[in-house]
Amino acid sequence: MKNLTLFVLFTLITVSQSTYSQLKSVIYNDDSQKLFGFYGKAKTKTHDNAGVLILPAWMGIDDHSIESAVALNKLGYNTFVADIYGAGNKPNSPQEAAKIASFYKQNIENYHKRIQLALAELIKNGANPNKIVVIGYCFGGTGAIEAARSQMPIKGIVSFHGGLSRNTSRTIVPITAKVLVLHGADDPFVSEQEIKDFKSEMRTAKADWQMNYYSNAVHGFTHKDAGSDNSKGLAYNKEAADRAWKAMLQFFNEIL
C-alpha cells in the first residue's frame, strides 16, 4: 500500500491537477501486483463508445499519455491509460526505464498480459468491445504493435515512434488488426534493417498496414519535453507531431 500511495503522489505531481481531474483513477491487478491506470469517458456519443487504449513511453504514465487521453475524450473516444510497470515500479531515470522496458521486450508474454489487463479495464468501464484501438508512444508504440502481433480483439493499432523489431524465433501469425506506424524519418534508434524486417513481417502476416515517415523528425518527436536538438536522437517536432495526430484521427475514422 505504501508503494501504491507513493505512485499516486508521484503521478499527481507530474501531471497537472486540472488534467488529472478529468480522468478516473482505476486500480486493477496482475496477481499480487497493483496496477494504477486512468479511464476517460467520451464527452460526446459521436463514435458509438469507441475505445482507445493508450500505452505510455518507457518512463511509464506521464503528462503526454494523460494529455492524449483527455484530448481524445473531447473528440468522443473513451480512453484508458495503461500502467504497464505496476505501482511502485515507475522508473526514476532513463537508465532505469531502459532496464525495465528491456525486461518486457525480452519477456514479451508479460507485456502482452499487462496490455490485455488494461484492455479489459477499458471495456469494463464502458468502451464498446467491438470498437477498440490501441495506440502507444516509443516503448508503448512497440506494445501497440505487439497487440496486433498477438491477435488481440481490436480493430487497429497506432505506433508513434515505436520500436519495430521482434524476436525472429517467434512464428509470424496473421495480423487482422489494421496497422498504422508513424515514424521519424531521421530516427537513429530504428535501423534500416529493422524497418526492412518489419515490412517483410507485415507482408508475411498479410496485414493491412501503413507507415508514414516525417521529415526532420527523430525519436520521441511527439514529446514536448524531449527538447529540440535532433543531434541527440530524441527531440520534439511540433509539425511532425501535429501531422501524426491528424493521421491517427483519419485512421480512426476509417477503421471505426
Q: What is the structure's pLDDT at 18?
A: 64
Domain ranges in the chain are: 2-255
Q: What Cα–Cα distance (Å) separates residue 12 from each residue in 7, 8, 56, 201, 238?
A: 9, 6, 16, 40, 26
Query: For the segment 121-151, what is each residue's pLDDT rounded down to a tens digit?
Result: 999 999 999 999 999 999 999 999 999 999 9
**10 has a pLDDT exceeding 50:** no
Find, among 164, 171, 144, 143, the residue nearest to 156 by Cα.
Answer: 144
Q: Residues 16-34: what's their mean pLDDT?
A: 87
- Taking the C-alpha atoms of residue 156 and residue 11, their distance in angstroms, rounded to an integer, is 29
**41 has a pLDDT exceeding 80:** yes
**249 has a pLDDT exceeding 70:** yes
**12 has a pLDDT exceeding 60:** no
pTM for the model: 0.93
- Planar angle of CA 79, 31, 81, nearest 5 degrees: 15
- Please give the CATH topology (third level) of the domain spanning 2-255: Rossmann fold (3.40.50)
